[in-house]
Amino acid sequence: MRQALSILIPLLAPTLLYLYFKSRSGTPALVAAKNAPWIWLSAGGIALATLILTVVALTSGAPAGSDYRPPRVVDGKVVPGELSPKSDSKPEGAAKP
């Protein structure tokens, strides 16, 4: 759901803002929607969504080369998966060469 919203909100924001300000200026919403510059609104939404996704991709997540430990059961409780800094030790149960 969060991922869908991070794409849908930037895509729809220019159109919603355009319709809001047009309706505030006295133009009926249906007339504003009919005469809207859809190419520019679509391009603005795509550009905004691309910018948001790029910023999120570059500023979040684990450092490159991190090890992923999958979810596991410890003492009857599920421990969620995690990313940890790269280590030289082998994970539990790894085959020795």
Angle at the Cα of 11 from the Cα atoms of 53 and 4, rounded to 5 degrees: 60
Does residue 70 lie in a domain region? yes
Please choose, from the candidates 67, 64, 63, the residue with its C-alpha nearest in 3D space to the C-alpha of residue 90.
67
Does residue 97 lie in a domain region? no
Confidence class for position 2, pLDDT limits 50, 70, 90: confident
Number of domains in the chain: 1
Does residue 66 lie in a domain region? yes
Statement: residue 91 has pLDDT above 70:
no
Does residue 4 lie in a domain region? yes
Does residue 19 lie in a domain region? yes
Estimate the crossing angle of helix 2-24 against helix 38-59, to 10 degrees: 140
pLDDT in tens, 8-49: 999 999 999 999 999 999 989 889 999 999 999 999 999 999
For 5, 36, 57, 86, the CA distances from 10, given in Å and listed in that order, are: 8, 18, 15, 35
* Chain centre to alpha carbon of residue 17: 21
Does residue 94 lie in a domain region? no
Statement: residue 75 has pLDDT above 60:
yes
Q: Helices (DSSP H) in the chain: which residue ranges? A: 2-24, 29-34, 38-59
Domain that holds residue 61: 1-85
Does residue 9 lie in a domain region? yes
Q: Going by C-beta distance under 8 Å and a sequence separation of 6 or more, which residues neighbour residue 62?
A: 83, 84
pLDDT in tens, 39-68: 999 999 999 999 998 998 888 877 778 888
